[in-house]
Structure 1
Amino acid sequence: MPPVTTGTEDANRRLLRARDAMDRAYAEDLDVPGLARIAHVSPAHFIRTFRATFGETPNRYLQRRRVERAMFLLRSTDRSVTDICMDVGFSSLGTFSRVFRDIVGEPPSVYRQRGPLPPVPTCFAMRWARPSSFGEAPGE
């Protein structure tokens, strides 16, 4: 007999499925209606419940996820900022630069000048450098 779940647990699982899809396919052209279909809710309900559950809108979460990946690529490759911008899912260099600066606090080109990532375990370096959705500096 399968375990009994409450409606809230089921709704949370569906939201997690949508967030996992965003994590896996962050570079693809994702939209709220498609993500809402994954969660089996209306787009408006998806936005409200995602924000209530995770503390930010689906769009902001996706932007932050893309910027997080761009941060890694900027400091671990010599690829151009434009190539990285397109590879992480932004369609405009201007939008990428604005969003990156809003989240990280400096433009991508300045962030890149910090040099290569330190020789520490990747999980530690990524957690230290992960941009926060709550306005705190990385690593705080």
Structure 2
Amino acid sequence: MWHDTRLGHRGPREHTLTRVVRADQHRAVRRVVDTLRADLGTPRSLSEMAEIANLSSAYFNQVFGAIVGIPPSRYLTALRLEAAKRLLVESDLRVTDICFQVGYNSLGTFTSRFTQLVGMSPYQFRVLSRAPEWPSLPQLVSRTGRSFPPVYRSHKQIAVGAIRWSPVGALDSELDTTHDVEPRPIFVGLYRQAIPQGEPVAHTIALGSSTYTLPMVPDGRYHVFAVSFRWSTVPRANALLDAASGDVLVASGDRPLRVVGARFRNHVDLVMRPVQPTDPPLLTAVPHLLVRSKAPHPLLRRSAS
């Protein structure tokens, strides 16, 4: 899962539960996840999901949160919007038809939720996915590169963290990279929520580096997430960041990043690893947001339809 469940980084009740999560509870949660994925259009209450898991509603809610990192209802929302992203890219269905197909009864609710969690409207997502081409990775990096002004003299004024690779992730990341048209970027983003959804507060692109840096952000408590994938100038190629292909690696910080008095109070390291079946879908339209932020497509000036 995206979240680190080691003691010391979550609430005491969740820590206690995480320590005693058993294999049968993992199987129960996986059974629910597989059921949800197989039939997104069917409404599922907490009690119905708990029944599939053969657990009480309250306990299932706790177990699911400890294993997946978010409540079951939010996970179902993420699955539905992930399916909507795929339909927007791979089909010519109207947005209204997609809305109903993934389980929403209101186009307005679907559009607002999609925009909030993906970072752009369904219409914008479709337009950018069907653009003739995107910038090459070197062009994109040069456009998004950050030059820190002289005031940033202290390491406390720049977020710095290490990037490492899990044993399996390291193997995956090195497969066939010599034949890649572009190197693999590592997108690092800061999020206010403990899940990588919506537009990040700040982001950077690390290329073949063992560290990342981020500029100062407003005081607060943030969560650091990273995703690595092969960049392509063909928009459809990386519009969905298909985790099932084994080509996507992810990481989450081992603790929140705290900013107090315009100073970073701690560092957060990242360990890149393959996506797990119970990981919440990566809803943030990472490639789209990078392209849109520096080279808006002219069609995006039109209102969503």
TM-score with structure 2 setting the length: 0.39
Offset of residue 119 of structure 1: 5.8
**What is residue 132 of structure 1 aligned with on the other side?**
282
Q: Which shifted more, 111-120 or 14-23?
A: 111-120
2:107 counterpart of 1:93: yes
Larger radius of gyration: 2
Q: Quick check: 1:103–1:131 contact (8 Å CA) kept in 2? A: no
Cα drift, residue 138 of structure 1: 2.9
Structure 1 residue 11: Cα displacement: 1.6
1:26-56 Cα deviation digits (max 9, x unpaired): 1212221111001111112111111111011
Q: Which has the higher contact order (CA 8 A, sep 6+)?
A: 2
Alignment CA distance shift 1:119-1:98 (3 Å): closer
Shift of the alpha carbon at 1:68? 0.7
CA gap of 1:119–1:105, structure 2 versus 1, over 3 A, is closer
Q: Which blocks of at least 5 consecutive residues in structure 2 are unaligned? A: 1-19, 131-233, 249-279, 288-305
- Larger helix share, 1 or 2: 1
CA RMSD in angstroms, aligned pairs only: 2.8
Counterpart of 1:28 in structure 2 is 42
Secondary structure of residue in 1 paired with 2:35:
helix
Percent of aligned pairs sharing the same letter: 33
Q: CA deviation at 1:131?
A: 5.1
Is 1:112 matched up with 2:126? yes
Q: Paired residues, what number?
A: 131
Query: C-alpha distance in 2, partners of 1:41/1:11?
Result: 9
The offset of 1:7, in angstroms, is: 7.6
Instruction: Point out the structure with the larger strand share.
Output: 2
**Structure 1: how far apart are the matches of 2:81 and 2:107?**
12
Partner of 2:86: 72
CA contact (8 A) 1:18 1:35 kept: yes
Q: Amino acid of the residue matched to residue 115 of structure 2?
A: R
Query: What whole-Å deviation, never above 9, does each CA across 1:95-131 have from its counterpart, x for those lacking one?
Result: 1112111210111111111133746499x74246x95
Aligned-partner SS, 2:110: helix
- TM-score normalized with structure 1 length: 0.79
Match of 1:20, as an amino acid? D
